[in-house]
Amino acid sequence: QVQLVESGGGLVQAGGSLRLSCAASGSIFSINTMGWYRQAPGKQRELVAVITRRGSRNYGDSVKGRFTISRDNAKNTVYLKMNSLKPEDTAVYYCKIDLVGVSYDYWGQGTQVTVSS
C-alpha cells in the first residue's frame, strides 16, 4: 500500500507565498513522475506542475513563472513552492505519483490553499 501525505497548505494573503510538501511511503520501489494538481469548487481538476525522476519539469500555463516544483528522491518527497499567490489559486491541491512497473496512479488526500484578496 502507498500513502501520500500533503502538508503546507493554509490561508495566505494575495501576493504571499506557501510551500507544499508531499511525502510518499509504503510499498514504494521506484517513483517515476511526481506532480501537483488542483481543484477549485465547481471547477475541473487541472495540472499545476509535474517533474520526472531526472528533474524535467512541466507547468500549467496559469502558474508558470510563479510556482516551482522540485523533488528529493532519497526522501520520496515532492515540493511545490508557490510565489505571488492570487485569489484564483485558491483550491485543494493534490499530490500524484506513478511507480515504475505499476500501471496505477496514487493520489494524496489534498491540502487546502486559500488566498484572500
- Quote the mean pLDDT of the chain: 96
State residue 29's pLDDT score.
87
pLDDT digits (tens, 9 = 90+) for 25-44: 998 989 999 999 999 999 99
Provide the residue count of the chain. Answer: 117
What CA–CA distance (Å, rounded) separates 3 from 25? 5
CB neighbour class for 16 (10 Å; exposed up to 12, middle 13-18, buried from 19): middle
Ramachandran assignment for 42, one of left (phi > 0), alpha (psi -120 to 50 degrees), beta (any other): left
69 three-class SS: strand
Query: CA-CA distances (angstroms) from residue 106 to 42, 77, 84, 89?
Result: 23, 13, 29, 23
pLDDT digits (tens, 9 = 90+) for 33-82: 999 999 999 999 999 999 999 999 999 999 999 999 999 999 999 999 99
